[in-house]
A and B are shown apart, each in its own frame.
Chain A
Amino acid sequence: MMALIHSKNTIIKLGSVDLSTYVKSSEFARKADVHDVTTYGKADHVYSGGLGDGTFKMDGVYDSTATTGPRAAIEPLIGTEVVLTRQPEGTGSGKAQDVVDIIVTGYTESSPVADYVTWSMDAQLSDAVNSTAQSV
């Protein structure tokens, strides 16, 4: 039976640090290369699938929590590899999960004068995504 899933229960972890309660939005994008393998005699292009690829980004509310806040947890990871665990339906046996190495490519803090400090992070997926459902 299909059911709509609300995003509010999404879990996002970098390594062992659960950042979920600081995250307002996240996007896990997977894609693949496409190769043109058209040969003479064809009237239309023919394509073949190539290597998988993907990116991840998230943003949220800045929190000064010393060791688990976004600044403390993410900023030192810029340019390095860390394991991303993403549970879009929340935690629970049989629920969806993606586990993949990512390279943190950017961390941005924004300070609009009329609102609270926010942050965002961009990352590049690296190697295969393990999308085996949770077995908690």
Chain B
Amino acid sequence: MNLASVMDAISARLDTIAGLRCFAYPPGSVVPPAAVVGYPTTYGYDETYGRGVDRMSLPVVLVIGKVSDRSVRDQMAAYVSGSGTGSVKTVIEGGTYTAFDVVRVTGVELDTYTIGATDYLAAIFDLDILGKGA
């Protein structure tokens, strides 16, 4: 797997969700609603013999809007849902990829990010990705 290609592929797939600005790497600043593909939290080599399979955990961070807005809650509900056109899990796992073999969105944590003086609601999705080692 090539890390840059994997991050590009995930970002491109997220870009099919209407209304999201997607970044294939952490940008200097974001304007919500935005999705940012982060760098792997773990990158494991040699899942099988002969450089057959590598495995990585990749975070995707969605920053939606002000945490105090009710409409933001409803938007977030669609993104974290396990199904539907806005579901990050459904959209990512439903993609066809050449940069890796398979991806599973294993979970999501909600958090608050402060940008400037504003608290934004954010969701951090964990992606488990397997692909060719060589």
Binding site for B on A (CB under 8 A): 7-12, 18, 20-24, 60-61, 63, 114, 116
Q: Is the CB of A24 within 8 A of B50?
A: no
Give Cα A24 to B47, complex, Å: 6
The residue on B at minimum CB distance from A90 is B50
A83 shortest CB reach to chain B, Å: 18
B102 CB contacts on chain A under 8 angstroms? 116
Q: Is the CB of B106 within 8 A of A21?
A: no
B64 shortest CB reach to chain A, Å: 27
B104 CB contacts on chain A under 8 angstroms? 116
The residue on A at minimum CB distance from B53 is A61
A114 CB contacts on chain B under 8 angstroms? 106
Q: A114-B106, A116-B102 are in contact. Are A11 and B130 (CB under 8 A)?
A: no
Give Cα A61 to B52, complex, Å: 10
A/B interface sample: 23 pairs, CB < 8 A:
A8-B49, A8-B51, A9-B49, A10-B50, A11-B50, A20-B49, A20-B50, A21-B49, A21-B50, A21-B51, A21-B53, A21-B133, A22-B48, A22-B52, A23-B52, A24-B48, A24-B49, A61-B47, A61-B48, A61-B52, A63-B101, A116-B104, A116-B130
B103 shortest CB reach to chain A, Å: 11
A19 shortest CB reach to chain B, Å: 9
Q: Interface readout for B91-116 with A: 1 if CB under 8 Å, 0 if not?
A: 00000000001101010000000000
Interface residues on B, range: 10 to 19
Check: B46 CB closer than 8 A to any chain A CB: yes
Q: Which 6 A-B pairs have the closest CB atoms?
A: A21-B52, A20-B50, A20-B49, A8-B46, A21-B50, A10-B49
A8 CB contacts on chain B under 8 angstroms? 46, 49-51
Give Cα A8 to B133, complex, Å: 12
B52 CB contacts on chain A under 8 angstroms? 20-23, 61
Choose one: B49, B106, B130, B133; the contact of A23 (CB below 8 Å). Answer: B49
Q: Is the CB of A21 within 8 A of B130?
A: no
Give Cα A20 to B51, complex, Å: 9
B93 shortest CB reach to chain A, Å: 13
